[in-house]
Amino acid sequence: MSNTFYITTPIYYVNDVPHIGHAYTTIAADVLARYHRLLGHDVFFLTGLDEHGQKVQQAAAKSGVDPQAHCDRLAPQFQNLWKKLNISNDAFIRTTDTKHKTVVQQKLQQLFDQQLIYRADYTGWYCTFDERFWTEKDVTDGLCPDCKRPVERLSESNYFFKMGQYHDRLVKHIEAHPDFIRPESRRNEVLGFLKTNPLGDLSISRPKSRLSWGIELPFDRDYVTYVWFDALVNYVSGPDYLLPQPALNHYWPASMHLVGKDILTTHAVYWSTMLMALELPLPRTIFAHGWWTVNGEKMSKSRGNVVDPHGMVDEFGADAFRYFLLREVPFGQDGDFSRHALIGRVNTDLANDLGNLLSRTTAMIERYAGSRVPKPERGTDSDIDRVLQHTAGQLKDAIGVHLDNLEFSRALETIWGLVKLGNQYIDKTAPWVLAKKPEDKSRLDTVLYNAAETLRFLCLFLYPVMPKAAEGIKQQLDLTLNFSKPLFSSDITWGGTVPGTEIVKGAALFPRVETTTTSQGAKTVNQDTPTSPSPAPTPAATATHITIEDFQKIQLKVAKVLSAERVPKSEKLLKLQVDIGSEQRQVVAGIGKKYTPEELIGRRVVIVANLKPAKLMGVESQGMVLAAGDAEVQELVTLISDVDPGTKVK
């Protein structure tokens, strides 16, 4: 089996700046490219720009510059975004590259010489936006069936590619290769379409009188080629001239063309038949992903809701944006983008789950082991250790299956299974308790080692999706992993962390994104010392008794501590993020002399949930944690066994 993995994105029109759709495909391709490099495959990852055609010509005219100047101005917007998003493409193609144009002209000449391209007069309905003709039966109410814009009647002499003659071969190919078009629902759509519609021939020229911005037909200077005939050829011209040595034979056929669902037909039908005519093998897989809406609405310039990936990276960081796009929606399905959902993922999955695991582990190694990863005591593993090791050991195969199926969200869910298990492991083994007894020292060492080793596994498996976070984990744990080398075969055995390694506790991987309002619309709060609200005295109440009605005004709820950190410059105050079932809250509690932040994470506490918000040392608190003690806190009020966050306490 070939060791090569050639992956492409569509080449994007430079009619405007990049948007979330462009970022989505490119990030997905990047994850697969990075993953296959870790597996030791010879990867070629190509992306680039589609610079010819009507859309680009019109956009240039609108800006009052010539099309090439327009392209040169916009190209860096895409290239800079890919840098900012840590896209690891091996080459970047622009269809105005002279060498690309030469390849396109060679292919056109080849097909013309083989009489697979012919000239004919044609009258049909033309859609300027989509740059294509439609037949009478395609058009309803004078509108383009694709973009719903008005079409115009046009009579023209043009050049046609004999696409129709490949109909049966294409159907057979799709039927014989279940992986050729994915997901399966899209494959069925294409097959259904082909089985009910005979393929016509494809007009592959545009008279220069109508469109001048394109590659000239080598056999008729009055025409330029149809933008799709030019653009699709990038997949074979790129490996031909963008590498130090021509490498088309080495990398072709492509392993994976990633495309949006709207351009599946051009790839599955036009490109496949072009390749058949050119006598080149077909790509292994064309995968069509879904579209993003924004807050439930179609994304469009006129609605003013276009998501700018540059802005997202500036605000949340590249990794958070990459993670959100791939975690939120199963690849292949449509999804909805909202800031609210993105912030939710950052705070819950990234800051609480992953960020906490790293910060508690490094904090405890610092405090209990002098900042050096301790040596585990071999042969003393208990069930809880074995479950952790087993789960980490299975990750490679589980993720492999998901990524082979482009199930990014399931791959991430699987990784988060280990993140959560790591946090539970710390909660259950309670290193802060072990640290109190000298006789538990070797158990403490084993627990801390296992926590660090879990993070080493996570670092490796997170790398394709979140390369910067993986670098951060690697630095803090001083891991010897080298991501530019194949790793998945050698570094996935439990025990790879070297005891004695000095850890370097660093900044939080993913700082929480603070929002100014809570889900209840309240501004944030704070509480210092446990003080109860003072209900107005009722005639029945005395100084020492309250009525049951008074008591019922106090909402006590079980809260799960998601994250905890010290309030700067305070010995006593801890800032907690807690889950109370219906929402997350920030509560500031004066328990920092008695408890460390890391031992609180995952614990159930009881809070007063309807206390008026207040600020403590400038930090908002939306409730109060109950604890026993007079002047000093002695113990938190907890529960004998876990109940769901949000459960009422009465």
Rounded to whole angstroms, the Cα distance separating 386 from 158 reads 70
Give the binding range for ligand ME8 (CB under 6 A) out of 165-173, 256-264, 535-543, 566-574: 256-264
Residue with token string 């496949």 = 272
Nearer to ligand ME8, 289 or 360 (CB): 289
Give the binding range for ligand ME8 (CB under 6 A) out of 204-212, 260-268, 420-428, 473-481: 260-268
Answer for the pair 318, 85: CB distance below 8 angstroms, yes or no. yes
Binding of ligand ME8 at residue 47 (CB under 6 A)? no
Binding of ligand ME8 at residue 331 (CB under 6 A)? no
Nearer to ligand ME8, 18 or 592 (CB): 18
Measured from the Cβ of residue 190, the count of other Cβ atoms closer than 10 Å reads 22
Q: Count how many residues are written for the chain.
A: 650
Binding of ligand ME8 at residue 232 (CB under 6 A)? yes
* Count of positions on this chain that bind ligand ME8 (CB under 6 A): 18
Cβ 92 to ligand ME8, closest distance in Å? Answer: 14
Rounded to whole angstroms, the Cα distance separating 30 from 464 reads 8
Give the residue, chosen from 30, 50, 97, 319, that forms a contact with ligand ME8 under the rule CB under 6 A.
50
Residue with token string 């539970």 = 424
Cβ 301 to ligand ME8, closest distance in Å? Answer: 11
Residues 34, 36, 37, 42, CA torsion sign = negative
Nearer to ligand ME8, 11 or 444 (CB): 11
Q: Look at strands 4-13 and 42-50 and give their pairing.
A: parallel
Binding of ligand ME8 at residue 225 (CB under 6 A)? no
- Residue nearest to ligand ME8 as judged by C-beta position: 260
Question: Which positions from 4 to 43 touch ligand ME8 by CB under 6 A, shown as an x/- string?
Answer: ------xxxx-------xx-xx------------------
Nearer to ligand ME8, 82 or 292 (CB): 292
For residue 429, the one-letter residue type is T
Binding of ligand ME8 at residue 262 (CB under 6 A)? yes
List the Cα angle 419/362/560 in 5-degree steps. 50
Nearer to ligand ME8, 236 or 434 (CB): 236
Q: Which two tokens stand for residue 497?
A: 């962390």
Burial label, 300 (beta-carbon count in 10 A; 0-12, 13-18, 19+): exposed
Q: Residue 561 phi/psi, 5° resolution?
A: -80, 120
Rounded to whole angstroms, the Cα distance separating 145 from 246 reads 41
Give the residue, chosen from 207, 260, 344, 400, that forms a contact with ligand ME8 under the rule CB under 6 A.
260
Angle between helices 383-404 and 408-429 (to 10 degrees): 170
CA 376 to chain centroid: 35
Q: Which of 111, 388, 94 is nearest to 274 (CA)?
A: 111
Strand partners, 127: 132
Nearer to ligand ME8, 23 or 451 (CB): 23
Cβ 186 to ligand ME8, closest distance in Å? Answer: 12
Neighbouring residues of 470: CB distance < 8 A, sequence distance ≥ 6: 459, 460, 462, 463, 483
Cβ 24 to ligand ME8, closest distance in Å? Answer: 5
Nearer to ligand ME8, 50 or 240 (CB): 50
Please count the CA atoms within 13 angstroms of the CA of 599 that sit on its side-chain side: 17
Q: Which two tokens stand for residue 163?
A: 């696409």
Strand partners, 94: 49
Cβ 510 to ligand ME8, closest distance in Å? Answer: 25
Cβ 335 to ligand ME8, closest distance in Å? Answer: 8
Nearer to ligand ME8, 102 or 638 (CB): 102
Rounded to whole angstroms, the Cα distance separating 137 from 147 reads 16
Cβ 291 to ligand ME8, closest distance in Å? Answer: 4
Question: Which positions from 274 to 313 touch ligand ME8 by CB under 6 A, shown as an x/- string?
Answer: -----------------xx------x--------------
Answer for the pair 419, 323: CB distance below 8 angstroms, yes or no. no
Residues in 88-147 at the binding interface with ligand ME8, rule: CB under 6 A = none
Nearer to ligand ME8, 25 or 584 (CB): 25
Residues in 549-588 at the binding interface with ligand ME8, rule: CB under 6 A = none
Which residue ranges make up the site for ligand ME8 (CB under 6 A)?
A: 10-13, 21-22, 24-25, 50, 231-232, 259-260, 262-263, 291-292, 299
